[in-house]
Amino acid sequence: MKIARVRDGAVLLGAHTPLKALYSFRDSGFLQLRNGASLHPRISPLTVRFKSFFHEQSKVEEKKMKKCDFSCGFSFYSDFDGGKASDWDFVVVNFYRFVYIKDPEEEISKHLSFLQGRDIHGRVYVNEQGINAQYSGPSKDALSYVEWLKQDRRFSDILVQISPALSGHAFPRLKLQYKPSLVQLEGGISHLPLLDPAMRATPLAPSEWRKRLEAVNNVEKTSFRADRSDLNRKLLLLDVRNGYEWDVGHFQGAPRPDVDCFRSTSFGLSESGLTASDPLAGIDKEHTDVLMYCTGGIRCDVYSAILRQKGFQNLYTLKGGVSNYLESEGPVEWVGNLFVFDSRLSLPPAAYKSEAAAEGEAELVSENSTFARCYICGSQIHELRHRNCANLDCNLLFLSCSNCVKELRGCCCSDCTYAPRIRPVLPGHQRYQKWHIYRDAEVQSQSVI
């Protein structure tokens, strides 16, 4: 469906065009069809409930539609069949854009001014190369920030990722500041030609990414037998994340990255080409398609510019990262959960489907996972979510079975159990708080005794 034009909050459609998309309305907004029919929805931040009528020829499509996807990455949900699609009270929003910002400090000032009085927590970094944001907040506040940003032509078509935060804020506070590097990498990224799309990898839509993976991982699939050129061409799937992220979820066929921090990533940079842990070592830079993926896309974009300078010619990234893929294609070719850098730590694919998330069905346990192992004893586990070592001075993120959690009191090894600053074992999926909270609680308990 093509949107003819947008005016005063209205989306003008063809007379018989099935309703496949919606626009972000204000409370006074309406949807007008060119045959004269108009819809006056009752609006809430993430749910649109229709009380009005559709053109007769659109009723069949109306009943089928459950989810409306937007080019900006929003997802709105409707209840055409009388069902109830609950709003998310809190959401986490992610977006980035490489674009020249002449005066970053002035840009930051504008953002701070807009956010005054709004309940936004998270990280928003700005510099001359653009913006990178991950934040949480009540739906109304979180989405109003996006709407405000998109009024700027530089960000009007920015891809926005939205996911539920069922336990409230996913970040402790707001950090909106100038950052020399939008992502942290050894040596910085200010020297990279990130503003030139030709110097970065070619972005693939989730559907195209899925097609390529299916062609490689299941060569017997009849829909791809005709195109033998795709199957004969060399392809390498590169996970541009950390090893502990891979441990809870990854694309099938992607080798585990031997990296503990993106800052130290060095794939394809060895001059000798003999590094055993480097999946790019020794490959044909001219005739190998390198498919790169990460959580939201920015790390791949940055690293592709480095690889381009190193002579890699056929570089492709997953547009919007894994989060965009799961929302668009579901868990096809994906196994496990998705690691996220906020208090939730891990999200199952179901979290990107509003019906499951709203009803609390976004479980962190996968009965079908066979790759995840306990860091301590090596046994197979199904709870795909890291915990931090109870030893504050270690704080290692690791996967653990329930027996090892109990035996080592939440620590990652026996040595940590004797450390001077040990936090209590956390039940369930809680996150540790600041050390002073546990320290002060211990002091208070001793004074009572």
pLDDT of the residue at 435: 62
% of the chain beyond a pLDDT of 70: 68
61-65, 158-162, 170-174, 276-280: the lowest-pLDDT one:
61-65
pLDDT of the residue at 74: 33
Task: Look at residue 255 and tell me whether its pLDDT is greater than 60.
Answer: yes
Q: Please, which pLDDT band fits residue 228 given cuts at 50, 70 and 90?
A: very low
pLDDT of the residue at 218: 67
Distance separating alpha carbons of residues 107 and 412, to the nearest angstrom: 43
pTM for the whole structure: 0.72
Chain-wide mean pLDDT for the chain? 76
Q: Please, which pLDDT band fits residue 269 given cuts at 50, 70 and 90?
A: confident
Give the pLDDT confidence of 315-353 residue by residue, as tens digits.
999 999 999 999 999 999 999 999 999 988 888 888 876
Task: Look at residue 5 and tell me whether its pLDDT is greater than 90.
Answer: no
**Average of pLDDT values for 420-443?**
71
**Average of pLDDT values for 276-288?**
88
Asked if 401 is an active-site residue, the reply is: no
2-16, 94-108, 382-396: the lowest-pLDDT one:
2-16
Burial class of residue 298 (count of CB atoms within 10 Å of its CB; 0-12, 13-18, 19+):
buried
Distance separating alpha carbons of residues 91 and 352, to the nearest angstrom: 11
Q: What is the longest distance spanned by two Cα atoms in the chain? A: 78
Task: Look at residue 192 and tell me whether its pLDDT is greater than 60.
Answer: yes
Q: Catalytic pick from 68, 72, 261, 294?
A: 294
290-294, 322-326, 352-356: the lowest-pLDDT one:
352-356
Distance separating alpha carbons of residues 204 and 9, to the nearest angstrom: 31
Task: Look at residue 156 and tell me whether its pLDDT is greater than 50.
Answer: yes
The amino acid at residue 192 is L
Residue 84: other Cβ atoms inside 10 A:
11
Distance separating alpha carbons of residues 86 and 46, to the nearest angstrom: 8
Angle between helices 104-115 and 139-149 (to 10 degrees): 140
